[in-house]
């Protein structure tokens, strides 16, 4: 599939969509105390399979995750594989200071990959063989 959107625009919208999803993670974390971080991570893992290839953030910004090999919307398996790196980094938030730094480094690494990649993919997209497109 060809994406006619300028590269910087799709990166911006992906960033905003991920921010919306991370806000949901934080709300779950703070609402449900001890279990909240695990609920948030669970949401993040399955999020791209919730609305036919869209997380809440992607749905709001009219983006969709597709499995490139099957040329279909991402399912829960695709979502889990593509979000493993981000979800794993959130566990470090349970460790004061050094854990937060590790989490930030992992997020920065993913962001740098998206910026430098000609197809706007991050590590999770390569692992799951997915791509983010406009709806």
Cβ pair 28, 40 in contact under 8 A: yes
Flag whether 1 is in a domain.
no
Sort residue 52 into left (φ over 0), alpha (ψ -120 to 50) or beta.
Answer: left
> In the chain, which ranges are continuous DSSP H helix?
7-31, 33-46, 56-60, 76-91, 98-116, 123-128
Q: How far is CA 6 from CA 42, 118, 123, in A?
A: 32, 11, 21
Residue 1 banded pLDDT, cuts 50, 70, 90: very low
Q: What value does the mean pLDDT take over residues 24-35?
A: 90
Parent domain of 58: 7-134
Q: Using one digit for the tens of pLDDT, what is the confidence trace for 80-129?
A: 999 998 888 888 888 889 999 999 999 888 888 888 888 888 888 999 99
Residue 134 banded pLDDT, cuts 50, 70, 90: confident
Q: What value does the mean pLDDT take over residues 40-55?
A: 92
Strand order in the sheet with 130-134: 72-73, 63-67, 130-134
pTM: 0.83
Q: Using one digit for the tens of pLDDT, what is the confidence trace for 48-75?
A: 999 989 999 999 999 999 999 999 999 9
Flag whether 2 is in a domain.
no
The total number of structural domains that make up the chain? 1
Flag whether 56 is in a domain.
yes
């Amino acid at each position: 599939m060809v994406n006619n959107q300028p590269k910087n625009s799709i990166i911006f919208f992906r960033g905003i969509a991920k921010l919306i999803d991370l806000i949901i993670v934080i709300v779950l974390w703070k609402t449900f105390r001890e279990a909240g971080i695990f609920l948030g991570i669970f949401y993040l893992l399955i999020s791209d399979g919730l609305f036919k290839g869209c997380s809440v953030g992607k749905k709001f910004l009219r983006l969709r995750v597709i499995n490139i090999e099957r040329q279909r919307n991402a399912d829960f398996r695709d979502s889990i594989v593509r979000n493993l790196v981000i979800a794993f980094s959130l566990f470090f938030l349970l460790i004061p200071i050094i854990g937060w730094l590790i989490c930030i480094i992992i997020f920065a690494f993913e962001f740098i990959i998206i910026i430098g990649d000609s197809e706007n993919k991050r590590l999770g997209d390569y692992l799951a063989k997915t791509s983010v497109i406009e709806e």
